[in-house]
Amino acid sequence: AIDGHQQSEYLVRVARRIADRRGAPWSVVYVATGGVVDPARRERIEAATRLARRLGGDTVILRGHDIADELLACAVREGAGQLILGRTRERPIARMLGRSLTQRLLRRGMHLELTIIATPAGILASRSTSGCGIEACSMSRLRNAARASALGNSPCNNSMATSSNVA
């Protein structure tokens, strides 16, 4: 489920490349949890879903309170074998409590392959906190590194692109 953050369109492109390499259908999913969505985020969600349709993917808008539950239920309905998540920022408290989206999906979705993609924004954030000066890391290099990490092979037949702030 794309979340409307800046990496959403990037993840749509990565998911399409992975699905194309596997010859698999793919979908982009957004889970509306009932909260207020600011106009900029709403536009990013709409732009990502338009891009997905233009690239040949399906788009699904779900409504529910628990993103993990909604994603897993959708994966079962659609017969997805893989979820692609974007790693954008650390959430140490959620991770310590076992409540990050990734941890919840790992616990409940054992029948699915979870692929965590390092987004350019996530790479920048981790490098800036790990001592690598942002000046030393070009954006094109970061995109290439994130793209390369996203293109592993897997026997799954169907992919769902999701992005989230995962720990």
Neighbouring CB atoms inside 10 A of 77's CB total 9
pLDDT digits (tens, 9 = 90+) for 45-90: 999 999 999 999 999 999 999 999 999 999 999 999 999 988 755 6
**Predicted local distance difference test score (pLDDT) of residue 139:** 45
- Strands laid side by side in the 159-161 sheet: 58-63, 26-32, 159-161, 82-87, 113-118
Helix (H, G, I), strand (E, B) or coil at 25: coil
- Distance CA(100)–CA(93), nearest Å, equals 9
Q: Give yes or no for a contact between 117 and 9, defined as CB atoms under 8 angstroms apart.
A: no
pLDDT digits (tens, 9 = 90+) for 153-164: 333 445 555 544
**Structure-model confidence comparison of residues 75 and 143, the more confident one:** 75
pLDDT digits (tens, 9 = 90+) for 125-138: 666 655 443 333 34
**Predicted local distance difference test score (pLDDT) of residue 126:** 65
Residue 125 class from Cβ within 10 Å (0-12 exposed, 13-18 middle, 19+ buried)? middle
**Predicted local distance difference test score (pLDDT) of residue 163:** 45
